[in-house]
Amino acid sequence: MSRKRNYAMVIDTHVCVGCSACVYACKAENEVPEGFCRDWIEQKVEGHFPKLTMEIRSNRCQHCEEAPCVTYCPTGSSHYAGDGTVQIDRNWCTGCKACLAACPYDARYVHPEGFVDKCSFCQHRLKQGLQPACVTTCPTSALKLVDLNSNDGLYRQLIEGRTVTQDKVPAGTQPKLFWLH
Amino acid sequence: MAQVNRRKFLKISSAFLASSAAGLGWPLITKTSKAQGIAEPDRIVSTTCEICFWRCGVDAYVRDEKVYKLAGHKDHPLSNGKLCPRGNGGQGLLYDPNRLKHPLIRETVNGKEQFRKASWDEATSLIAERFGKITKQYGTESVVMFSHGFGASFFKTLFSAYGIHTFSAPSYAQCRGPRSEAFKLTFGHAIGSPEGLDIANSRYLVLLGSHLGENMHNTAVQDFSSAISKGCEVVVVDPRFSVAAGKAKHWLPIKPGTDLALLRGWIHILLKEKRYDIEFIEQNAVGLEELWQGVKYATPEQTYAITGIPVEQIVQVARDLGRYGSSALVHPGRHVTWYGDDTQRERAIAILNALIGNYRMPGGIIRQEKFTPIKATLNQEKFKPYKADFPVTQNASHTFQSRYPFASQVPANEIVDQTISGSPYPVKSWFVYGTNLIQSLGNQPATLKALQQLDFVVAVDVLPAEITGYADVILPECTYLERYDDLDNRTYRTPYVAIRQPVVEPLYESKPGHEIARLLSEKMGMPDLFKDDIETYLNKQLKQMDSSLDELKKVGVLKVSEKNLYRQPGEALQFKTPSGKIELASSRLREAGFDAVPQYQPPPENPPGYFRLLYGRAPMHTFGRTANNRVLGELMPENELWVNQVAGRDMKLKHGEYVYLVNQDGVKSTTKIKIRLTERIRPDAVYMVHGFGHTDARLEFAYQRGVNSSDMITQLSTDPIMGATGMNNNFVTFTRS
Amino acid sequence: MTELVTNKINPNVIPHLHIWGWDVAIYLFLGGIAGGLLIISAAMILLQKGGIFSPEEQTAEYSRQIQVASLLAPVLLGVGMFFLFLDLEFKMHVWRFYTNFNLTSPMSWGSWALLIFFPFSVFQAIVVCQFSQIPRFLFLASWESTLKPYLNKIAAVNVHVGMGIGVYTGILLSTYYARPLWSNTVLGFVFLLSGLSSAAALLLLIAPSREKQLYSKIDMYIIAAEGFATTLFILGGITGTENMKNAMLYLIAGPYAPWFWILFVLAGLIIPLVLETLEAIGKIRFSPFVPLLVLIGSISLRFIIVYAGQEIPTFS
Ligand SMILES: Nc1nc2c(c(=O)[nH]1)N[C@H]1C(S)=C(S)[C@@H](COP(=O)(O)OP(=O)(O)OC[C@H]3O[C@@H](n4cnc5c(=O)[nH]c(N)nc54)[C@H](O)[C@@H]3O)O[C@H]1N2
Ligand SMILES: Nc1nc2c(c(=O)[nH]1)N[C@H]1C(S)=C(S)[C@@H](COP(=O)(O)OP(=O)(O)OC[C@H]3O[C@@H](n4cnc5c(=O)[nH]c(N)nc54)[C@H](O)[C@@H]3O)O[C@H]1N2
Ligand code: SF4
Ligand code: SF4
Ligand code: SF4
Ligand code: SF4
Ligand code: SF4
Ligand SMILES: [Mo]
């Protein structure tokens, strides 16, 4: 598929402090109702006192290249947008939740108004040339939105010399959140 | 067999599930349009955050006269376009359904005390009348103002003009007082707030306690992450595996209360192995030999015996400090009132920084400046002191005199003591602006006792915090999003001046502080004190800076680029100490009968079966002030008690169960707290986030969620040098009933 | 020691997925049984097993069994679909299923398949039940006479449609490879066979005593096949990826294990199989107890799989 843009997110686990500013910013920006979230924090501590390691991540929809949510959506509500993001058309959604069952990342929730919702990479902001709300507010600059089809070199620059991983690769979804370690 | 996958996922403990937060009706959500896309704001207003005391610049997004989103102001040097989680949820305060809505007056009906709704006129008249009576009888020194926060300035002006001269804040003796005094004693100046530390450029950063990342001062965390990105090596000394410790190369899980021994151990190695900045010290410091004598026996082995930190780690960090030298930084912390030895511990930190020569060097301690000082004449013109016209001070010699020789501000706890004892002169009235003394002072029984003895208490707050429950008159201030305050014109590395301006009209009958102060000034007989309205007043100040209110309202902040942060090679340095040099051994301390070189005193040990109670910050809360914030509370509605896995199991504690706490003095917590069994803390200590366990039922959301650390802090270990209240010498155990 | 803490608050996925509950389990049960009834009734029509068996049924061309099965198939499916409809979060948008056809979405296939199931199963019912003989349904007479010549063709379609629905109820879950317990190709067959066996059990329950042996035999064979498929299902799970293995262990040795082994395997498969074998060889008398057990086992299977399958984390 030839696309003008192909948005992805690069997340630096070294600097993220798990503060949740990204979650609050997202909730305000996207009117995520009480009791739900589009992004969230996972904090993993391993080892035994006093030999411990910690990893913190700010997680969200991976905007998969091979998105099972799109594959399984009977109505076409979940779809690939032309910019490399996966979006939901609320007017087409029946709330059948096939996509919730299909998403290996549990990235979606059922909005109380009946449709399913998830991170949109703040597509409405991208269209205005703005960065996503979570990216903008993150005090540690742990979150970076990149356009894989752009030749601005940002992606390469960010991963330079770093270990990059993706989540749940065996799921075959080709996720587009890239984790820096 | 089944355990295999149980282990895999049952342990995902979603710390705080929505169920506890949901259902309480979040007033902020407008009906989401089913259509795609988010509506545009009607306007964006730049102002200053006040969810904590850091004062970041925020852009408030307004639609249909509702603030629906807050974002970091791009140009503000404290935000750089970003906000901490708390700043992001500030609208939760604005729309808190439990906000104070109108003035309240305490009255007794049929022997029962209750609050009655009052008009502003009535409430302010009553205050003026009572202050008049009390000051006539006991002198103006019998009225004390407590405050914390930016909005207090107008009241300070008001009371200063009236002759009231005792102002106290918990940000001193309960927070960074020891740091200020120690750095003044060593370098001749305090480290400031925001701190004059070049964290972003540090290449080696030692944090003692300072849990950056949980302690969420926006710019400090930005600097911290930028240092990490640039490869800074971090050392964290903390009994708990903090978030910062998770980023560290070395985590030193120190035995609580022994930090000074560790610091002395490091000084010992630096001196012994001559790894300090010899040239810098020779030129700029005095007391080196005395320092060596003082730490001569603080060998790594002895340090290990006290702190529990392996010798190799002690030695390695000391050598690293020497190696990185001026680009290393031993962070002085902020809330440093821990064990009563706090000024000396901070002195040791100051000395370490001096030894590695990071003073005014990249990555070290830096010089900060003000934007443009407002000309003094203007202040005089505006706040013409009324003292002359109001000779109400009966006994001018009764100015507050601290028991502690180096207290440069008024320790709040001393006012509590004096209120109880009535000596050397009586304190009869408290005016409390924006500080919840019940939760912030520790030793609650004393605070409550003092409150009982007062003739008249006024509280200015935005919420029905516990302290307001003890007031005779409660004045509802509007939130920071609804008001002007003074210009923020502090010292910072990037000198700036920023505005706080109303984003929306004040809700209910609440009023801005300046308006309340003006009302009071009229009733108190000083009608001209605030004769300019606030906009004229701010505009006049800005004119002095070649700007105007109109301009600042638009841009939010004015700044000039940083300069003179670092010293020039060969620059002669002058320090405002008695010797004019950095005092490795403090002459002033020696003269006052204290150790000129910090000596270590062991803190009290845990009683058997008890755990030392430690506390700290959670990124999404500010003390107790956000506990009722529905937005912020959603992700953390209560605090938990961290207990070491093994120790907890020995005590038969279950992960997730709720218990009461009992401290060494037999004081039982009024509320319950959830147990969190974790590897992340030493077995001899427990930890909780401060600021929960509210007992005022008017705070409907926060009411009785979690436990307040202050409830359990009945032993205050007072720093003999400047009167700070060390809070970490308290111990708790558990009970289920 | 791993401490994993998240502040994700979304109720549908924390602490694990739980989007589908009893209504979907019932739908899967009813869908399966409806598919089974349609397959059996259509097959009997095709195999000419539907002739007059008893003097009491003089007037009818087809046995009561076939009539009941043909009639129940669309009715039960309709009830099942009502439950499915209940599960939709946005009921007003239900028509959206038919403004799109997503080749890769089983649910899309399923919703379109229902569109074929209904008319054809109803056609079959109209013909075999001879509704026009009932005065109130006289208006169906012309339909009946028009359709009658095509009955075999209709039945042929229905065998396939029935299989489709039966398999669909299993496939629906088994294609979600994000849910490792479901993600097992054999699950579709287990569901199909379980649907068939419950259909047979239902017919056995209502069959006149003379015919019981036939249905008991049918049921016996299907249950045997179902037992075989279930074994494959378990084996496939534990020899699968780490993920699938953990999921299967969770089912067979975790909190659902007692339900799975006692309700489904023992009560739903082994006991009926043994008893029906004994019945078939005439050792014991037919008891309504046996088909009831089969039905209970079948419905338990749906509940257990629906619930347990959501509790297993995806690829970790
Ligand atoms: N989110 C958020 N951030 C805040 C605030 C807030 O309310 N919320 N408040 C702000 C204010 S006013 C202040 S003063 C600062 C305070 O923030 P800091 O200065 O960072 O406060 P500390 O007391 O150093 O931090 C507590 C940490 O010290 C550890 N500790 C406890 N006892 C000891 C000990 O004996 N030795 C050592 N080495 N460590 C110990 C605890 O385990 C905990 O990790 O935070 C500021 N930032
Ligand atoms: N046990 C224990 N005690 C501590 C600490 C601890 O960690 N543990 N930390 C210490 C430290 S570091 C500090 S700095 C102090 C902080 O102590 P406080 O300053 O008392 O802390 P807050 O809980 O923020 O209380 C602020 C009060 O101001 C009100 N308020 C908020 N915004 C406004 C406003 O715009 N106008 C007005 N008028 N009122 C407002 C809030 O409702 C609240 O009642 O506590 C100290 N005490
Ligand atoms: S805002 Fe940034 S630092 Fe904070 S949790 Fe989110 S990604 Fe991490
Ligand atoms: S993460 Fe889930 S919701 Fe997002 S694109 Fe991938 S499958 Fe779809
Ligand atoms: S819930 Fe909505 S988006 Fe998800 S699969 Fe069903 S129709 Fe598609
Ligand atoms: S990109 Fe936008 S929608 Fe996605 S998590 Fe960030 S703020 Fe939320
Ligand atoms: S640090 Fe956070 S709460 Fe404090 S002023 Fe800045 S944004 Fe507001
Ligand atoms: Mo503080």
Tell me whether strands A51-59 and A40-48 are parallel, antiparallel or unpaired: antiparallel
Q: Are A53 and B246 in contact (CB under 8 A)?
A: yes
Tell me whether strands B57-63 and A51-59 are parallel, antiparallel or unpaired: unpaired
Q: Which two tokens stand for residue B439?
A: 């939760």
Report CA-CA distances (Å) from B401 to B407, B408, B415, B718, C210. Answer: 9, 10, 10, 16, 109
A117, part of any domain: yes
Q: Are A37 and C10 in contact (CB under 8 A)?
A: yes
CB-based contact C1 A95, cutoff 8 Å: no
The SS3 assignment for A103 reads coil
Spatial distance between the Cα atoms of C148 and C150, rounded to a whole number of angstroms: 5
pLDDT at A175: 97
Segments in chain A below pLDDT 50: none
Q: Which two tokens stand for residue B429?
A: 């009235």
Strands laid side by side in the B473-476 sheet: B112-117, B104-109, B473-476, B456-461, B429-433, B143-147, B166-168
* Ligand with smallest separation from the Cα of B635: 3
Eight-class DSSP state of B375: P
Q: What are phi and psi of A88, to 5 degrees?
A: -120, 130
Tell me whether strands B611-616 and B582-583 are parallel, antiparallel or unpaired: unpaired
Q: Which two tokens stand for residue C3?
A: 């401490």
Residue with tokens 């955050």: B49
A131, part of any domain: yes
Cβ-count burial B126-142 (b if 16+ within 10 Å, e if not): bbbebbeebbeebbbbb
Task: Provide, as residue numbers in chain B, all residues whose Cβ is less than 8 Å from the Cβ of A24.
Answer: 85, 88-89, 620, 631-632, 635
Q: Are B494 and B222 in contact (CB under 8 A)?
A: no
Domain boundary assignment for chain B = 15-94, 104-172+373-484+506-559, 197-366, 611-735
| pLDDT tens for each residue of B5-54 | 322 332 334 444 333 333 333 333 333 444 445 678 999 999 999 999 99
Residue C54 has pLDDT above 60, yes or no: no
**Most A CBs within 10 Å, among C10, C81, C173, to test the A interface:** C10
The rounded percent of chain C whose pLDDT value lies above 90 is: 49
Angle between the N-to-C axes of helices C186-206 and C289-311, in degrees from 0 to 180, rounded to the nearest 10: 150
- CATH of region B611-735: 2.40.40.20
The answer to whether the CB of A143 is under 6 A from ligand 3 is: yes
Residue B153 has pLDDT above 80, yes or no: yes
**Most B CBs within 10 Å, among A34, A38, A51, to test the B interface:** A34
| pLDDT tens for each residue of A32-43 | 999 999 999 999
A69, part of any domain: yes
Spatial distance between the Cα atoms of B631 and B63, rounded to a whole number of angstroms: 18
The SS3 assignment for C205 reads helix
| Domain B104-172+373-484+506-559 class, CATH top level | alpha beta
A161, part of any domain: yes
Tell me whether strands B104-109 and B473-476 are parallel, antiparallel or unpaired: antiparallel
* Helix then strand then coil, % of chain C, to nearest 5: 75, 0, 25
From ligand 8's centre to the CA of B4, what distance in Å?
45
Task: Provide, as residue numbers in chain C, all residues whose Cβ is less than 8 Å from the Cβ of B2.
Answer: 249-250, 253-255, 257
Q: What is the mean pLDDT of chain A?
A: 95
Spatial distance between the Cα atoms of B498 and B54, rounded to a whole number of angstroms: 12
**Ligand 6 pocket: which residues have CB below 6 Å?**
A 26, 29-30, 38-39, 60, 119-122, 132-134
pLDDT at C92: 87
As a whole number of Å, the CA-based R_g of chain C is 21
> Please, is B145 exposed, middle or buried when counting C-beta atoms within 10 Å of its C-beta (0-12, 13-18, 19+)?
buried
Domains belonging to chain C, first-starting first, are 22-308 (1.20.1630.10)
Report CA-CA distances (Å) from B468 to B98, B666, B670, B733. Answer: 13, 27, 19, 30
Eight-class DSSP state of A77: -
- Identify the closest residue of chain B to A120 by CA–CA distance: B37
Give, for B276, the enclosing helix (H) or strand (E).
none
Residue B280 has pLDDT above 50, yes or no: yes
pLDDT at B385: 46
Spatial distance between the Cα atoms of B182 and B350, rounded to a whole number of angstroms: 7
Which one has a higher pLDDT value, B127 or C66? B127
What are B620-623's contacts with CB under 8 Å, separation 24+?
Answer: B620/A19, B620/A20, B620/A24, B620/B85, B620/B86, B620/B89, B620/B216, B621/B86, B621/B689, B621/B691, B622/B51, B622/B52, B622/B86, B622/B691, B623/B436, B623/B439, B623/B440, B623/B690, B623/B691
A86, part of any domain: yes
Per residue, what are the HEC states of B686-722? EEEECCCCECCCCCCCCECCCCCHHHHCCCCEECCCC
Number of domains chain A is built from: 1
Give Cβ neighbours of residue B542 (< 8 Å, ≥ 6 apart).
Answer: B487, B497, B548, B549, B551, B552
The answer to whether the CB of B623 is under 6 A from ligand 2 is: yes
From ligand 7's centre to the CA of B35, what distance in Å?
33
A1, part of any domain: no
Which one has a higher pLDDT value, B355 or A4? B355
A48, part of any domain: yes
Spatial distance between the Cα atoms of B147 and B167, rounded to a whole number of angstroms: 7
- Position B110 confidence tier, pLDDT thresholds 50, 70, 90: confident
Four-residue CA torsion sign, B593, B596, B599, B604: positive
- CATH of region B197-366: 3.40.228.10
Comparing B382-396, B654-668, C75-89, the range with the smallest average pLDDT is: B382-396
Residue B283 has pLDDT above 50, yes or no: yes
Spatial distance between the Cα atoms of B341 and B306, rounded to a whole number of angstroms: 15
Tell me whether strands B582-583 and A116-117 are parallel, antiparallel or unpaired: unpaired
Q: Are C165 and C34 in contact (CB under 8 A)?
A: yes
Tell me whether strands B104-109 and B66-72 are parallel, antiparallel or unpaired: unpaired
Nearest to B208 by CA among B335, B310, B299: B335
Nearest to B232 by CA among B146, B328, B297, B300: B328
Residue C221 has pLDDT above 80, yes or no: yes
Give, for B598, the enclosing helix (H) or strand (E).
none
- Nearest 10 degrees: CA dihedral of B502, B507, B510, B514? 10
∠ CA B391-B397-B399 to the nearest 5 degrees? 95
Task: Provide, as residue numbers in chain C, all residues whose Cβ is less than 8 Å from the Cβ of A114.
Answer: 89-93
Give how far the C-alpha of residue B138 lies from the chain's centroid of Cα atoms, to the nearest Å. Answer: 32
CATH number of the domain where residue A48 is located: 3.30.70.20
pLDDT at A4: 86
Spatial distance between the Cα atoms of C106 and C100, rounded to a whole number of angstroms: 13
The answer to whether the CB of B480 is under 6 A from ligand 7 is: no
Residue C49 has pLDDT above 80, yes or no: no
A12, part of any domain: yes
Neighbours of A160 (CB within 10 A): 8
pLDDT at B614: 98
Give Cβ neighbours of residue B272 (< 8 Å, ≥ 6 apart).
Answer: none
pLDDT at B38: 67
pLDDT at B397: 60
Neighbours of C175 (CB within 10 A): 25
Q: Are A101 and C20 in contact (CB under 8 A)?
A: yes
| pLDDT tens for each residue of B438-494 | 999 999 999 999 999 999 999 999 999 999 999 999 999 999 999 999 999 999 999
pLDDT, mean of residues C162-189:
89
Q: Which two tokens stand for residue C71?
A: 């009639």
Beta strands (DSSP E) in chain A are 7-12, 40-48, 51-59, 78-80, 86-88, 109-110, 116-117, 143-147, 164-165, 177-180
Q: Are B155 and B131 in contact (CB under 8 A)?
A: no
As a whole number of Å, the CA-based R_g of chain A is 16
Residue B388 has pLDDT above 60, yes or no: no
Residue with tokens 């009683």: B607
Candidate from A15, A57, A138, A179 with most ligand 3 atoms within 8 A of CB, to mutate:
A138
pLDDT at C292: 94
Task: Provide, as residue numbers in chain B, all residues whose Cβ is less than 8 Å from the Cβ of A112.
Answer: none
Spatial distance between the Cα atoms of C83 and C87, rounded to a whole number of angstroms: 6
pLDDT, mean of residues B604-626:
97
> What pTM was estimated for this model as a whole?
0.94
Q: Are A73 and C105 in contact (CB under 8 A)?
A: yes
∠ CA C19-C23-C24 to the nearest 5 degrees? 60
The answer to whether the CB of B84 is under 6 A from ligand 7 is: yes
- CATH of region B15-94: 2.20.25.90
Q: Which two tokens stand for residue B538?
A: 């701010």
pLDDT at A3: 77
- Position B374 confidence tier, pLDDT thresholds 50, 70, 90: low
Q: Are B287 and B597 in contact (CB under 8 A)?
A: yes
Give how far the C-alpha of residue B364 lies from the chain's centroid of Cα atoms, to the nearest Å. Answer: 22
Q: Which two tokens stand for residue B585?
A: 């051994």
Atom from ligand 1 closest to the CA of residue B237: 38
Domain interval for residue A59: 7-180
**Most B CBs within 10 Å, among C179, C181, C250, to test the B interface:** C250
Specify the amino acid at residue B100: L
Spatial distance between the Cα atoms of B520 and B506, rounded to a whole number of angstroms: 19
